[in-house]
Amino acid sequence: MKMSDFTSLGLSESLLQAVKNEGYTSPTPVQEQSIPPLLAGRDVLGVAQTGTGKTAAFALPVLQVMSRSPPQGKRFIRALVLSPTRELAAQIDERFSAYSEHLDIRHRVIFGGVGQNPQVRALQKGLDILIATPGRLLDLIGQGHADITKVEFFVLDEADRMLDMGFIRDIQKVLKLLPQRRQNLLFSATMPASISSLAGSFLNDAVMVDVSPKELTVEKIEQRIMFTRKSDKRTLLVKIIKDERVSKGLIFTRTKHGANRLVKQLEQSGLDAVAIHGNKSQGARTKALASFKKGSIPILVATDIASRGIDVEGITHVFNYDLPNEPESYVHRIGRTARAGRSGIAYAFCDDTESGYLVGIQQLIGKDIPVDDSHQFHYAGAIPKPGQKPGKMKEGKGSGKPRNNNRNRSSQGSKKGGGQSQRGNSNRGQPHRSNNQSRQRRQ
């Protein structure tokens, strides 16, 4: 498998050179399957998460087709990429820089949370490719600074996360402003019914490319579930971090507030940590991420949305400090480790208010997560009950005093996951949105 693989996809010399400079030797599956139909002018519906090489899968063909007809006169936005978060948008922009080095194509990223003037100036100068988060894009369109009526390529990236974040109306507004004739690309890590119907509303005879990880990514990652009381989570976490000398650990909390609090608590225990979430300024988020990437801060505490798409090499540990209320998030979270074929370990803490979430996660991944009960905080009261349904349990139920803290019981394994395991991923792709959606949106 050599560069000839990229050549056989029909990419031009300058793009082959760019890919070579990036050190890519062969295309990833999503690239192999998306690039030829995109070059041929087809719409593509890609089921792929971050880490699969999906950015190059859309950026390379878009660049290639655009460079066939260089700009005449003032530049206008010919490609629009919508991305749910600032971090992801910035990463896409950075990828466009890498791939378009030898091309006469101007691209720019715009997102909220920072001053709009430099963005307005860039738009006034003229751009070929705009990468944007939906809110800021609509603001700038509303003020007459951005014109998307001549877009030839529309890329909707991380569509499932877009919907989770409540961007559906914004997306629909953008779609109304786009010209009828254009090529569409939609990428999503999961394909719940809501995404299929969104896809159906604007894709035209799309080629479906499915490289969803299913077991693939998940299988490479060592996973452990630890049943514990909420009040013991912090001590358990500190103990693991210290015992295992975690050098690059990513910890997920459900809320921004929880992330901040945990950082303080870790610092009190002598651990260097930093938080990244939607309430932090862009500068603070960039700085936190850079320190973590560099390795100068070993622990990053994140909410799902802020972490989405963050591509940091060498994460050794992922901690689900809180279990996510959406099962798909679990797969995304643990996928932050074991990148590029490396191994990694993912710990999940489950307290007695979260056992329903665990049931949902295990249904999605089609197996039971191995239980680690060899720690002093093991709490059998958090184990899912036989036949327990996926989803939320009443808060506070049993979260006070221990009722049945039997350390020696082999817990979940002995009763086959509490009867909740449905093999074969039958739940995959089903929407798990619910009353928790509005809370998630604010993260």
Q: Which residues bind ligand AMP (CB under 6 A)?
A: 22, 24, 27-28, 31, 50-56, 311
Task: Let me know if 71 is exposed, middle or buried by CB neighbors in 10 A (0-12, 13-18, 19+).
Answer: middle
User: Do the beta carbons of residue 171 and residue 131 sit within 8 Å?
Assistant: no
Which residues on neighbouring strands pair with residue 147, listed in sequence order? none
In whole angstroms, the minimum distance from the beta carbon of 257 to ligand AMP comes to 29
CA 195 to chain centre: 15
Q: Which is nearer to ligand AMP, 92 or 359 (CB)?
A: 92
Task: Let me know if 421 is exposed, middle or buried by CB neighbors in 10 A (0-12, 13-18, 19+).
Answer: middle
The two tokens of residue 201 are 């509303």
In whole angstroms, the minimum distance from the beta carbon of 305 to ligand AMP comes to 16
Q: Which is nearer to ligand AMP, 30 or 262 (CB)?
A: 30
Number of Cα atoms under 13 Å in the Cβ half of residue 165: 22
In whole angstroms, the minimum distance from the beta carbon of 98 to ligand AMP comes to 8
In whole angstroms, the minimum distance from the beta carbon of 56 to ligand AMP comes to 4
Q: Which is nearer to ligand AMP, 46 or 417 (CB)?
A: 46
Q: Which is nearer to ligand AMP, 230 or 333 (CB)?
A: 333
Which residue from 290, 296, 301 is spatially nearest to 247, judged by alpha carbons? 296
Q: Which is nearer to ligand AMP, 88 or 237 (CB)?
A: 88
User: Do the beta carbons of residue 82 and residue 171 sit within 8 Å?
Assistant: yes
In whole angstroms, the minimum distance from the beta carbon of 174 to ligand AMP comes to 22
Q: Which is nearer to ligand AMP, 27 or 249 (CB)?
A: 27
In whole angstroms, the minimum distance from the beta carbon of 353 to ligand AMP comes to 34
Sheet (strand 344-350) strand order: 221-227, 344-350, 317-320, 249-252, 299-302, 273-276
Q: Which is nearer to ligand AMP, 293 or 442 (CB)?
A: 293
β-strands 79-82, 129-132: how paired? parallel
Q: Which is nearer to ligand AMP, 177 or 208 (CB)?
A: 208
β-strands 207-210, 249-252: how paired? unpaired
Residue-by-residue DSSP string for 352-406: TTSHHHHHHHHHHHTSPPPB---STT--GGGSPPTTPPSS---TTTT-SS-S---
In whole angstroms, the minimum distance from the beta carbon of 38 to ligand AMP comes to 14
The two tokens of residue 197 are 């119907």
In whole angstroms, the minimum distance from the beta carbon of 409 to ligand AMP comes to 42
The CA–CA distances, whole Å, from 207 to 36, 45, 78 equal 10, 6, 22
